[in-house]
Structure 1
Amino acid sequence: MFVRRNVTTWGSAALVAVSLLTTSCAGQDGTASGARTTPSASAPHGYVEGAQEKAEQQSRLVLNDPRTGDTRVLDLITGKVHEVSRTTGTTELTTDGRFGYFHTAGGTHVLDGGAWMVDHGDHVHYYSAAIRDVGRLPGGPGTRIRSDAAVTAVTDEDGRARVYRRAGLEKGKVGSARTLSGTHAGAVVPYAEHLLGVTEDGKVVVYDREGKRAASPDAQCKEVRGDAVTRRGVVLGCADGALLVREDDGTFTAQKIPYGSDVPEKERATAFRHRPGSDTLTAPAGERAVWVLDVTERRWTRVKTGPVVSANTAGEGSVLIVLETDGALHGYEIATGKQVSNTKPLVTGAPDAGREGSNAGPVIEVDRSRAYLNDPRGKSVYEIDYNDNLRIARTFHLDIEPALMVETGR
């Protein structure tokens, strides 16, 4: 976390909240029996009103059937399935680790998944609370939503960005927004108490929380598509590779991570998937390969696979997990490209990567110990132990077709 003297009003509010969380941990056992849900004059470190602090990650899957609008939240700790309000016409489902964002033609419906974590660097707090509807954000299909602990940035398909206070969403209200000037070629990304964007002509820009231009690195990202926040900085997908934007003591720098050779447009990395907290990113590299970007080493690796539907990895020496059109998961050693494990076909029918204009279809979500794969036609979700040759640990049978899935609580 980076604290500076020129913190704006919104930043100050966020830092006050964080300062309440970073006092002594003494006396907090993190168990359900010890969790507090009412204010106290001596509130323990990590106290959040209306939530319970837990000893372990409270992972949940938010699932939607875009044909019917039926929506479920699957608690991965208890195995219980929660039925929540229907959201029809969903073309895309995204998350920031707590909220599920259901993108529809009439706007983006926001669902509080009721599970999240707060990372203080040297320790982490895990929370659970009631699942509830929050409201609707403006912006239809093509809207990109990115968040940090203080703000949520919503960039519409025309490149206009609005910034909302995170505290409002956490209290169950969308609230008013601050609009950034100009238009942007990709998503506006909150990072290091600032907002990062790319102009239509490919120039990286930095704003403070009030929307005023701050000192920006002299860097270009042509044809920006795809972004990811890692511990090393923000990664942007560009025509010639990736651009890593970092902040250090209030100064922003940018470093290009080129592919190393000419890459055809159809084989570029345009959408990243990774385990939250990991510095290893994955992206399709055409129809029969996957890009793996090691942000720490600033190195791309192209792994040849079978026909790719979805891919992900836990990073840090774990296998690359690829769902291929045979319906099975395949594990590849990233360094050598060798296939080292595979499952039986898990996805019913011939899986594809989703309809045009939609991300509906099987995806792979990865957390610190398990991976999750949705089988829409089979009305199931599989829990995979990727550290044990892609062993199927649990199978969850549902009463809906979970064509859209994200994991919260991370």
Structure 2
Amino acid sequence: MKTKLNLILCAMLSTTLIACGDSKTNITEKEPVVIPNPGGDDHSHDEVSSEGRLAFTTYGANEINIIDLEHKENIATISTQGYAKYIYATENKRYAVLAQVDDSQVQFLDGGIWQEDHGNHLHPYQEDPKLMDFHIDGVKPAHVTTSDDAVALFFDGNDETGDNAQVVMFNETHVAENSSEAPVLNYDTYMHGAAQARGEFLISTLRDANSATSLPDKIALYEAHGDHFHQEQVFDVSCPGLHGSAQNHDYVAFACTDGVVVIKQEGETFTASKIANTEDFAADQRIGTLKGHHDTEQFIGIAGNEMFIVDPEHGEIEKVQWYNASETYLSGGEFSFDGKYGITLEATGTLTIFEAYVDGGHAHWEVIHSIETSEHDISEMPAKHSYRLAVSHYENVVYVSDPISKQVVKYDLATGQAVDEIELSFVPDRMVWLGIVGGAADH
């Protein structure tokens, strides 16, 4: 087993890159490079944009473009150390998590809009976006999940190089203060795993080192103790081919080849059970992506080109009846920021909006809008690109990027109407919304 990560910053970190200990995962400091938008000002306004900002990756490029949604303009292009294959948001949507998988590192971008508690009010701030000093190195940062108060960053490791899997659990305070206090879970094998942060607890996957697959089949409970974790429990419910996880207020869910394991938390007690796949699943079909929301009792499960609703309270998986093209697949799925709507985006650009209704004491989901977001044929799509969606956490709207037209369109979830569009000077890849959840508070 590798030596555990020493997260105490070496000599508090100079401005040069320093490796701490012999671990492959390090929190280090790097000098950010910001390229100002030609002709723009510094955009440090007294008025805070409640609509927030979108941060975009560009395929194969070591840069992030930031769009101000109120002014509909590119306010900065920021250079990164490597290409961010995936981009996520931290728990309060202030920072973008830039997972540079091929370069085995994760950097963090400050979106520049946040608020602070000043006792009798929440004070909003707006500044230029910037790259943060807080930085984490690790082999294959493949999965990032965000809870209400923390982020779990899963590093897969690499069988060929002998690098083991690791999980780092941190929050926005660690990022802002360039803190070395984030706890790390070190495994004794590689793993294409998943983890969910729950306060001081971490629910993460286990893989037998002798398994023929990189996917785990067990789930364990860990508790943070300073810079490391103690294993508290291994759940006795198996989850073969585990891939995909999510959580809500009461449950954490993990997708398996034969169903979904749901883990209920009651205080510091965690119990696991499995909801088996139904006859609606084809022989080789399984849920591979799960989406959850704090205030929504059900989980969205994506299985190829089908959508299922996982209801842990009633132990049910229900196939959502809706039309989608059999030759396509779902490139994205999310809940709206308040959990009222479910949203899916097909590879062909079809945006579908769902709303829950109650029948027989159970919540079900039905289609309320289906929108063709593009008039282009899918054959015109640039290689390695796709239509993408990003949910606003200020209002019930969703943004859909179009790499063919080089634009992003804003859709109202209640009406299904396109209400705004922004032309882009770059071909968009992945994107994430950054800003103040629920909008800027009054002074």
1:399 corresponds to: 425
Aligned partners of 1:317 and 1:177: how far apart in 2? 30
The corresponding residue for 1:45 is none
Does 1:381 find its partner at 2:377?
no
2 CA distance for matches of 1:195 and 1:277?
A: 20
1:114 aligns to 2:112 (yes or no):
yes
Q: Please give the secondary structure, in 2, of the residue aligned with 1:384.
A: strand
Could you say if the C-alpha distance between residues 300 and 408 of structure 1 is closer, same or farther in structure 2, counting changes exceeding 3 Å? farther
TM-score when normalising by structure 2: 0.66
- Are positions 1:197 and 2:191 aligned together? no
Which of the numbers 361, 370, 374 marks the counterpart of 1:346? 374
Identify the residue that residue 310 of structure 2 maps to in structure 1. Answer: 293
* Mapping for residues 144-183 of structure 1, pairs under 5 Å: 144-148=143-147, 152-158=151-157, 160-163=165-168, 165-166=170-171, 167-172=173-178, 178-183=184-189
Q: CA deviation at 1:369?
A: 1.0
* 1:33 corresponds to: none
SS at match of 2:290: coil
Whole-angstrom CA distance in 1 between matches of 2:431 and 2:224: 31
Native 8 Å contact 1:90 1:103 kept in 2: yes
1:397–1:234: structure 2 CA closer, same or farther, 3 Å change rule?
A: same
1:218 counterpart SS class:
coil
SS in 2 for 1:209: strand
Shift, 1:379, TM fit? 1.6
Q: How has the CA–CA distance of structure 1 residues 259 and 114 changed in structure 2, closer, same or farther, with 3 Å as cutoff?
A: farther
Deviation at 1:200, TM superposition (A): 0.6
Return the alpha-carbon distance in structure 2 between the equivalents of residues 95 and 348 of structure 1: 30
Q: Does 2:396 match 1:369?
A: yes
Which runs of 5 or more structure 1 residues have no equivalent in the other structure?
1-9, 11-50
- For the 8 Å contact 2:337–2:396, the answer to whether it is kept is no
Distance in 2 (CA, whole Å) between partners of 1:230 and 1:117 is 24
SS in 2 for 1:221: coil
Secondary structure of the structure 2 residue equivalent to 1:170: helix
Output the CA distance in 2 between the equivalents of 1:329 and 1:148. Answer: 26
Q: Is the 8 A contact 1:134 1:174 kept in 2?
A: no
Post-superposition shift, 1:160? Answer: 1.8
CA shift in 2, pair 1:117/1:245, >3 Å: farther
Q: SS state of the match for residue 184, structure 2?
A: strand
Structure 1 residues 351 and 155: CA distance shift in structure 2, 3 A: farther
User: CA contact under 8 A between 1:164 and 1:174: conserved in structure 2?
Assistant: no
- Secondary structure of the 2:144 match is strand
Secondary structure of the residue aligned to 2:278 is: coil
Cα distance 1:344–1:179, how it changes in 2: closer, same or farther (>3 A)?
closer
Measure, in 1, the Cα distance between the counterparts of 2:250 and 2:382: 31
For residues 136-158 of structure 1, the C-alpha deviation after alignment (integer angstroms, 9 at most, x for no partner) is 32235452233557654332123
Map of 1:302-321 to 2, 5 A cutoff?
Answer: 302-303=319-320, 304-307=322-325, 308-309=329-330, 310-314=332-336, 320-321=342-343
Match of 1:206 among 193, 197, 221: 221
Task: Say whether the 8 Å CA contact 1:64–1:405 is kept in structure 2.
Answer: yes
**Contact residue 53 and residue 126 of structure 1 kept, 8 A:** no
Partner residue in 1 for 2:95: 99
- Report the AA paired with residue 251 of structure 1: T
Residue pairs, 1:221-300, within 5 angstroms: 221-261=239-279, 263-264=281-282, 266-273=284-291, 277-287=295-305, 289-300=306-317
Return closer, same or farther for 1:321/1:83 CA change in 2, 3 Å cut-off: same
Between the aligned partners of 2:380 and 2:296, the Cα distance in structure 1 is 26
In structure 2, what is the Cα distance between the partners aligned to 1:53 and 1:233? 41
Alpha-carbon contact 2:387-2:401 (below 8 Å) kept: yes
For the Cα contact (< 8 Å) 1:280–1:314, is it kept in 2?
Answer: no
Q: Answer yes or no: is the 8 Å Cα contact 1:352–1:361 preserved in 2.
A: no
Looking at secondary structure, tell me which structure has more strand per residue. 2
Q: 1:179 to 1:233 in 2, by over 3 A?
A: same
**CA distance in 2 between partners of 1:267 and 1:219 (Å):** 20
Q: How far, CA to CA, are the matches of 1:168 and 1:373 in structure 2? A: 31
Shift in Å, 1:226: 0.6
What is the CA distance between 1:60 and its match in structure 2? 2.9
Q: Distance in 1 between matches of 2:151 and 2:184?
A: 11
* Secondary structure of residue in 2 paired with 1:93: strand
Provide the residue aligned with 2:83 in structure 1.
89
Q: Does 1:74 align with 2:81?
A: no
**Among 56, 71, 84, the residue aligned to 1:63:** 56
Please say which of residues 392-401 and 308-317 is displaced more in the overlay.
Answer: 308-317
Unaligned residue ranges in structure 2 (runs of 5+)? 1-6, 8-43, 158-163, 209-216, 358-363, 438-443
Describe the SS at the equivalent of 2:175. Answer: helix
CA positional deviation for 1:343: 2.9
